[in-house]
Chain A
């Protein structure tokens, strides 16, 4: 396979793994979590580096993953026991961890070659050159292996726990009354988000991860009212923006990851304007008197929750 195809494939894998968990983040109003995690993991990476003394990727991923979960946990604790509103909890937590990470980097790793830019924030352009091989036939970029596994794990876990994730997302109280362990499923999802974020930005850069977690899921949110369709649509939109982004980057001679994010954003703008039911244009021209009143989405979500109970 050519480098271009590998880059697009890696982009599509990032898009898919992010879309799978991103839809739930968006519905739970945790869209900023990807951004928070991708910054907060810095001290984890530095500590892993300081302990092992090497730039081996496995300990760094472990350190980063642990830090991601810690971010979620501290945010929860501040929110619940500190009675701090959730957006501020997240903001306080990740900026604090990031600051500690920067201090550690400047203080202890300056003489060693640990560049924050290159270790923490990979670039999709270089993804094809870092190859892992299993046997003589299975040669593929490391990023493709890693993200392939992450996508697969996300898909399997979400399929197995689809009903639980769905109810917990739309109506936690109902979920609790149905005997679902809300906290368990919450942390399971957060674990997936953490792993996905870390694995993706290690290969393709943080900026693309945040974009892919949030933007396709929101575009899909504008286009449908069913969770299953929203997820599939988000994956599809993510993949098309990966392909479109590659093309755009070629034309402009610029960063591929950024171009993918830009295309995803353009898709959202189009959807916001022209979506059949909830788009700005269709509502402006819609039935008289409707004006810009939003079709309330709670109807849809309640219906889905009801559907789950009945099934």
Chain B
């Protein structure tokens, strides 16, 4: 592979992976505290520090500039906290103000420096807009050390960070020094931002903090797994970005990292098993079909309840008289029930099969039990309970049903005087 022939390309690849990993890891905490845009604000807040470092030292030593960036980022993070705490302004306003004010101060200093005619200043703004391709060996050593350091700190204080992110008051009450923990966390985020700035620039740095965390959130409800996934997504897109820019023609690294991580996000958004849009829509559809089937079974049951002539089939018109619904929906549901063997079709008329009868009894029982429960226990008028029962009949579990039966003392009829079918026989009573 040509890639491994060039030591520079390997540096860039390594740098991007480290950046993705550390940003993905710390972005999760910003995400959980609903401050996803913190990275954006802090990345802008680095500019005055860079300029001050240059003004004070008179040279473009990368380490000094990085130090300056960290100091002003950190002050920016403290300002956000301070504004939220001591004024009545909200979080988003605090972020917006810190972002624009610090950046304005930075531009003011930058233009001031440029007018001074110091030749060394040219390219100072490159610090903010990122050039992954210019990463050198010593940058990688610095990035790598910082990245590994951050992972270690997160591992050491995992419990504390977790507590503060989810429930600050609880953390405080259980004797943790929440302020110290918050400052540590803020410092780590500042480090991640400053490290990333040089590689991908301000805006794309914000993406590397938000997007991996947002993507990871779709896959799991556990913080540990979320951190791992976000780290993985971040590192992966770092590698993809570096590779694309290496093999492609005029492909910038940073933006391709963001496109890669956004694609991961899009995939998670759509297809993550529990929270993804498609699986959720699928489950909703399944539930709707299930509901329609049970409703129809109950309708078929009620129509023959008085005569008990279960084998006498009903025409479509008869069914529609009982339950008003679109003809197409009725046909569709009947078709599904027939296929499941719960309904049998003779010509254009339909009857319940023995299995169908059993299922219809079950759902009718749940419906009527719930009506009894509502009228007796919650003292709701009998003519108000039907709609509620119509919904609960589909989701009542056998255990709950048993509890309701016992609570109500094995009722025989519902509030409208209809028999509750399929109750456990009275001999089974304790």
Residues of A bordering B, CB below 8 Å: 26, 29-32, 34-35, 39, 78, 81-85, 87-88, 90-92, 94-96, 98-100, 102-103, 106-107, 110, 207-208, 210-211, 213-215, 217-218, 221-222, 248-249, 252-255, 257-262, 264-265, 268, 272, 278, 280, 292, 294-295, 297
Contacts and interface: CB of A to CB of B under 8 A. Distances in A.
Given A87-B37, A211-B104, A265 B97 contact: yes
A215 B101 contact: yes
B204 A95 contact: yes
B36 A262 contact: no
Determine the main DSSP class of B at the interface with A: helix
Contact of B256 (A103, A110, A222, A249): A103
Contact of B99 (A35, A208, A255, A257): A35
Please indicate which of the listed interface residues A222, A252, A261 has the most CB atoms of chain B within 10 Å of its own CB.
Answer: A261
Determine the main DSSP class of A at the interface with B: helix
B255 A100 contact: yes
A91 B255 contact: no
Contact of A213 (B40, B86, B96): B96
B88 A278 contact: yes
B192 interface: no
A215 B97 contact: yes
Nearest to A93: B262
Contacts of B213: 88
Interface string B77-115: 000000100111111110111011101111111111001
Given A31-B92, A272-B86, A95 B210 contact: yes
Contacts of B93: 26, 29, 31, 214, 217-218, 221
A35 to B, nearest CB: 6
Contact of B204 (A84, A98, A210, A221): A98
8 contacts: A39-B203, A78-B269, A84-B217, A215-B101, A222-B89, A259-B104, A280-B86, A294-B88
Given A26-B90, A99-B262, A218-B97, 8 more contacts: A96-B207, A99-B207, A210-B99, A222-B88, A255-B107, A262-B108, A265-B104, A292-B86
B254 A102 contact: yes
Contacts of A264: 101
B259 A253 contact: no
Interface string B206-232: 110111011001000000000000000
A31 B96 contact: yes
Contact of A259 (B89, B96, B108, B210): B108
A95 B203 contact: yes
Contacts, number: 201
Contacts of A87: 34-37, 92
Contacts of B97: 31, 214-215, 218, 265, 268
Given A82-B269, A252-B112, A280-B86, A32 B101 contact: no
B265 interface: yes
B104 A207 contact: yes
Nearest to A222: B87
Contacts of B302: none
Contact of A258 (B111, B210, B214, B265): B111
A30 B93 CA distance: 8
Contacts of A294: 88
Contacts of A110: 250
B251 A214 contact: no
A95 B104 contact: no
A92 B101 contact: no
A261 B98 CA distance: 11
Contacts of A107: 250-251
